[in-house]
Amino acid sequence: MDERAVPRQAECSRRCLVAGSVGLGLAGPVLIAASAEAAGKAVIATSKVPVGGGVVVADRGVVVTQPKAGRFRVFTAVCTHEGCTVGEVTDQRIVCPCHGSQFAIGSGKPVAGPAQTPLAKKAFTIKKGKIFLD
């Protein structure tokens, strides 16, 4: 068999990959920049989150709750039943409008409806009265 006919695995360093990806468009760098920008932007002021309730921040994909005064929780806003975005926080429950799943504001655990899995917790920090995702 002629060796020239057999394709050889190309070797490529990290620099080669970065240089090659630039030719594919700006998707990589744009995504990184958007991620960095979102990470530095506050999700919500703590004063906007009611005690015993919460706020769905749909554009950030999270729900922020305050089960007790000064104790905050941040969960994904994606319902674990079929992936709908939760719609509101009422009566100390995070409520999904699609199929009626409800989750506890303190733990994210399902308390009603078809969902069987808790909402995923999100890491966050509080700086100067504002909640930031980590």
pLDDT higher than 60, residue 4: no
Which pLDDT belongs to residue 7?
41
Q: What are phi and psi of 27, to 5 degrees?
A: -55, -45
**Residues 43 and 55 sit within 8 Å (Cβ to Cβ):** no
Instruction: Give kind and range of the element (H or E) at residue 18.
Output: helix 14-22
pLDDT of residue 40: 74
Q: Is the pLDDT of residue 30 over 70?
A: no
Say what the pLDDT of residue 8 is: 41
> Residue 26 — very low, low, confident or very high, per pLDDT cuts 50/70/90?
very low
Q: What is the mean pLDDT of residues 18-47?
A: 54
Q: Average pLDDT over the chain, rounded to whole?
A: 80
Q: How far is CA 51 from CA 2, 42, 104, in A?
A: 75, 19, 14
Is residue 9 predicted with pLDDT exceeding 90? no
pLDDT of residue 28: 37
Q: How far is residue 17's CA from residue 19's CA, in Å, rounded to a whole number?
A: 5
Bridging pattern class, strands 44-45 and 53-57: unpaired
Sequence-distant (≥ 6) Cβ neighbours of residue 117 within 8 angstroms: 80, 110
pLDDT digit string (tens) for 69-80? 999 999 999 999
Residue 14 has pLDDT above 80, yes or no: no
